[in-house]
Structure 1
Amino acid sequence: MTDVLFYHLQRQPLEAVLPTLVEKSLERGWRVAIEVPDRERLAALDDHLWTYREESFLPHGTQADADAASQPVVLTASPDNPNAAAVRFLVDGATLGVEAGSYDRIVVLFDGNDDEALAEARGQWRVARDEGYDVTYWQQDEQGRWQKKA
C-alpha cells in the first residue's frame, strides 16, 4: 500500500525542507523522484540541490541525463519514473498520477501560505483518500519539528 504524506510548509520554504526529506529517504535506501510542474522549476531545483549547503550536496540528476536510471535522485517535469524510485516528491502543484500506487511513498509538499496551493493540496488529499491510500498530514511546530496532525 502506498503511503501519501502531505507536508504543510508554513515556517520554511520548499528549498529548506526538501533536501532534508530527500536525505532521510536516501538514508533508508530509497531511490527518489522529484516531480516539478515545468523545466524552469526543474533547473532551479537542480542548481539548488548542488549548493543548498556549503559542506554537502545531494547526488542527483535530471530526466534529461543519459544516466538518469542510475541516479539515486532524479528531478523530472513529467510523471515518468526514470530511476525506478520508491519515493516520489510532488512539489509546486505537481499532482498524483495514475502511477501513484507503484510507489512505496508519495510526499506532497505545499505552501500553506498560498491559498491556491492550499486548495490544491486539499483536493489531492481527497483524491488520495478516495483512492484508498494511507494518507497523513504533517505540520511543523514552533521548534521546526514535524508533527503528524492527521
Structure 2
Amino acid sequence: MQVDFYHLTSMPLERALPRIAERVLASGVRLLIVASGEAQRAALDRLLWEYAPDSFLPHAQLGEGDDTAQPILIAPDVNAANRARHIALVDGEWRDHALDFDRAFHFFDEERIGAARAAWKGLAGRDGVERRYWKQNDAGRWEQAA
C-alpha cells in the first residue's frame, strides 16, 4: 500500500487533482475522490468536466447514477461503491480507511499541515505501508522529498 502526501503550495488542488486522475485512469484502475463538504464535491464535479477543453474524465458523485460503473466516484466518505483501488483524500483530512486501498493520494495545504504531519508520523512503521512526500519546487513541479 502506497500513500502519497501532496503538499499544495503553489499549485492548487484544482490543477493537481485532474493530472493525478488522468494518470490513474490511464493505468486502468478506478479512483475514489473523498471530500466531506458538499460545496467542495460540487466544485470537483464541475472541475472534472471543465478543467481543460480537450479533456474528459468520466465520473459522478455518489448516488447520482450507477455508482458501480463510474471510473471516478466523488463521495463524502470512504465508500468505494465503484470498486476503486485508488483513493484521493482532497479535503486535507486523513482517514485510516484509505489504507484498505492499493494507493492513496492525500492532498493538503498550509492550513492542514499539522494534521498531515500527524498522519505521516502515524503511518511510520506500519507493515506494508510505503509513504512518499511530494512538494512543489519553485517552478511548480512536483518533487519527491521523502
Identity %: 36
Classify the secondary structure of the residue corresponding to 2:124: helix
Q: Which amino acid aligns with 2:145?
A: K
Deviations, residues 59-98 of structure 1 (Å, cap 9, x unaligned): 101111231111100000012111111110001123223x
Gaps of 5+ in 1: none
> Which residue does 2:59 correspond to in 1?
60
Q: Tell me, yes or no, if structure 1 residue 142 matches structure 2 residue 131.
A: no
* Partners of 2:66 and 2:22 in 1: CA distance: 20
Q: Which amino acid aligns with 1:38?
A: G
* Partners of 1:93 and 1:9 in 2: CA distance: 10
Gaps of 5+ in 2: none
> Which residue does 2:100 correspond to in 1?
102
Count residues in correspondence. 145
Matches within 5 A, 1:1-150: 2-97=1-96, 99-111=97-109, 114=110, 116-132=111-127, 133-150=129-146
TM-score of the two chains, using structure 2 as the length reference:
0.92
| Root-mean-square deviation (Å) | 1.4
